[in-house]
A and B are shown apart, each in its own frame.
Chain A
């Protein structure tokens, strides 16, 4: 499994404010200095209504593809079952508890994710099928890339709550409850302490 690191950075929005946009760039690193990828960085969504978006998480060769998704609340995610074998997709995440039996040659109904949160999907039948779905209620959310950089462009000026979500963070980490976004681009680094990854053995130091 790819090291999945997702930070979410929530910007606390200060509602009142000029519509000046600035970019926010955050580099996330782990304790050892390694970049954290696929963290969802977002600002808390207070105003944005759920969109009726659509997303897709396919099952290819007994794997979820993509393994990390970032969607707005209200998104309906379909599971095409490309590999056309039986899967029993499930999630126990509090944001969405569901079971979806996919049978070969039988299309399934999409599943609407209407609550914000980090949802972990698995397959009861197959080992190693794991997908993370960040359901966010703000458009101001991005995943960090391989370099650990998450860039949220064109943020209107104001005060935001910056949050980072990651599967190995026990709870969303609020990095900054009141981050002032001005007109200038903001860029900083953040070191996060993640739970150890059970897939990789701990470093020998």
Chain B
């Protein structure tokens, strides 16, 4: 029903007992869950003090769609990611450690709030960890020259 979809999504997201499927994608909760995660994360982070600079005037729906697909692929889901890689996306943005840490913290909170299985959460975070290098391009004191 029109009105019950968001509720249904939330309900589905809150379900904690599931038979453990093999892929992280399944563990996380599939497409609806990824949609919720990315939406919640981006919406929350974009307006937060640490994220507002990076997301200034950025079209969030597009970011969310991209993130969804990215996570899906990252979690071995049945998706195709046709966007740019993390490095290209964040090049020139001079994302700082602090901003990145804040994002990770937001992600953690989002995952907790949506009731994601702790094991899956850790796995996701583990898989995302290497992105740091690609994303963080500035230190607190001085900016690095963009890598070619």
Interface residues of A (CB under 8 A from B): 62, 83-86, 103-105, 124-129
15 A-B pairs with C-beta separation under 8 A:
A62-B57, A84-B146, A85-B91, A85-B93, A86-B84, A86-B88, A105-B92, A105-B146, A105-B147, A105-B148, A124-B59, A125-B58, A126-B58, A127-B57, A129-B57
Write the nearest CB–CB distance from A46 to chain B, whole angstroms: 41
Asked if B58 contacts A105 (CB within 8 A), the reply is no
In the bound complex, do residue B91 and residue A104 qualify as a contact, i.e. CB atoms below 8 Å apart? yes
Q: How far is the CA of A84 from the CA of B88 in the complex (A)?
A: 11
Q: Could you tell me if A126 and B59 are in contact, using CB atoms closer than 8 angstroms?
A: yes
State A124–B60 Cα separation when bound (angstroms): 11
Known: A84-B146, A86-B84. A104 touches B59 (CB 8 A): no
Check B58–A127 contact: CB distance below 8 A.
yes
Q: Is B56 an interface residue (CB 8 A)?
A: yes
User: CA of A125 to CA of B88 in the docked complex: distance in angstroms?
Assistant: 13
A56 to B4, CA, bound (A): 51
Point out the residues of chain B lying under 8 angstroms from A128, CB to CB.
57
Nearest residue, chain A, Cβ from B145: A105
| A-side contacts of B62, CB under 8 Å | 124-125
Closest to B63 in A: A125
| Contact residues in B for A125 (Cβ distance below 8 Å) | 58-59, 62
Cα A191 to Cα B148 in complex, Å, equals: 52
Identity of the chain B residue whose Cβ is nearest the Cβ of A127 in the assembled complex: B57
> Which chain A positions have C-beta within 8 A of B92?
83-86, 104-105
Q: Closest Cβ of chain A: how far from B87's Cβ, in Å? A: 9
**Given contact pairs A86-B91, A103-B91, a sample of 11 additional A-B residue pairs in the complex whose CB atoms are under 8 Å apart:** A62-B57, A85-B93, A86-B84, A86-B88, A103-B88, A104-B88, A104-B91, A104-B92, A105-B91, A124-B59, A127-B58
User: Which residues on the B side are within 8 Å of A103 (C-beta)?
Assistant: 84, 88, 91
Chain B residues near A62 (CB, 8 Å)?
Answer: 56-57
Q: Output the nearest chain B residue to A124 by Cβ-Cβ distance.
A: B62
Say yes or no for B11: interface residue by CB 8 A criterion. no
